[in-house]
Amino acid sequence: MKVYFLNRESLPHVKRGQQCIIVCCLQPAGTRKTLKQLVSDCLSRDYAMRFKRVHVGKDLEEFTAKSILYHFNIRRLGSVIGTHESSE
């Protein structure tokens, strides 16, 4: 099973900052991205500039992934998570 993030036409209410970057990276509605793709896109939009501590290399990717998952769980952005059955 492949887990992906999918933006809907009706966006969840988000504040500025990291949540906004996540939702923007899932535009337009119907966009499907894996966590790895979403991490890359968020980092290209200066997502890491909002961290309190500097992360580099693999630590940056892992910390960013955890941060994104935190926002999906805690900040109620989970409605954009979907799955796809595949033989991959």
CB crowding 3-42: b at 16 or more within 10 Å, else e:
ebbbbeeeeeebeeebbebbbebbeeeebebebeebbebb
Q: What tens digit of pLDDT does each residue of 28-49 get? A: 877 788 889 999 999 999 888 8
More confident residue, 31 or 8: 31
What is the model's pTM? 0.71
